[in-house]
Amino acid sequence: MYGQVTKGYEAETERIYIGSKDIDLGFHVDPDWSETEILDSRLLKTIRILTEELDFEPYGSYRFAKWYDRQTWRELSELERRTTESFNIHHLFVDLLVDYSFDTLNELLGFTPIDESLLAHYFNASRNRTFVSLGGVEVPVPTVPLLLAMKVRTIPRRQETHKREKDLADSFALLRFTDWPIDELKSTVFSFIDKSTIDSALQSIIPSDYQRVGTILGVSSGEVRTVLYSLIA
């Protein structure tokens, strides 16, 4: 997400785009896979790297975490986390997403990764993938329309305020600060989600949402609303 909107947003607003505590990693899995194929999948290999090589700890039902001191950026041990003021702790989360969720997979993992069925478009067609440079590394990511479709579809389900604000801000930024022509962007989004899904997202937004997102991004609440509603204009 960061690499998709950073250049346009910073050029126009002279502000740094909002960051995220989360790193989302998406994986293809197949309900027809055997247990052996699941255990040999990229998903399982990544989990082993996270826990065995990078020392991430399981956190909740689908994420892995590390904790850092905000002042020194030194990684904190479990004991240090107990004795450090919460405002001085930076959380780094890795969230695991799959394009299909099924019982055999969840039983083998011992947890349920995020079910993001739109990832199937990413894995099934190269036109839905692009690359962004992060720290000098070219990282494959969903294209702007696919990422926007994912963000919009998630909005009505968000309960946590900060996550809801981030999805709304990201949706606004993907519409407003990328180099995709708006008509092409909209038509491509509609190839992933239908109008009723977009309507549901827009109807779930309340005035205070627009105000908070506008404050976060340094734009007016009216512009946030106008840009989001341009999806169905």
Q: How far is CA 102 from CA 32, 99, 109, 112, in A?
A: 10, 10, 11, 9
Question: Taking the model in full, what pTM does it have?
Answer: 0.90
Position 10 scores a pLDDT of 86
Position 187 scores a pLDDT of 95
CB under 8 A, 24+ apart: contacts of 152-155: 152/189, 152/193, 152/197, 152/198, 152/201, 152/231, 153/118, 153/193, 153/197, 153/201, 155/201, 155/204, 155/205
Position 1 scores a pLDDT of 67
Tell me which residue of 42, 26, 162 sits closest to 94, measured CA to CA: 26
Distance of alpha carbon 22 from alpha carbon 63, whole angstroms: 9
Phi-psi region of 136 (alpha: psi -120 to 50; beta: other; left: phi over 0): left
Position 2 scores a pLDDT of 67
Distance of alpha carbon 5 from alpha carbon 216, whole angstroms: 15
Position 213 scores a pLDDT of 95
Position 34 scores a pLDDT of 94
Would you call 70 helix, strand, or coil by DSSP? coil
Radius of gyration of the chain, Cα coordinates, nearest whole angstrom = 19
> Which residues in the chain come in under a pLDDT of 50?
none
Phi and psi of 85, rounded to 5°?
-60, 140
Tell me which residue of 155, 128, 159 sits closest to 144, measured CA to CA: 128
Position 167 scores a pLDDT of 93
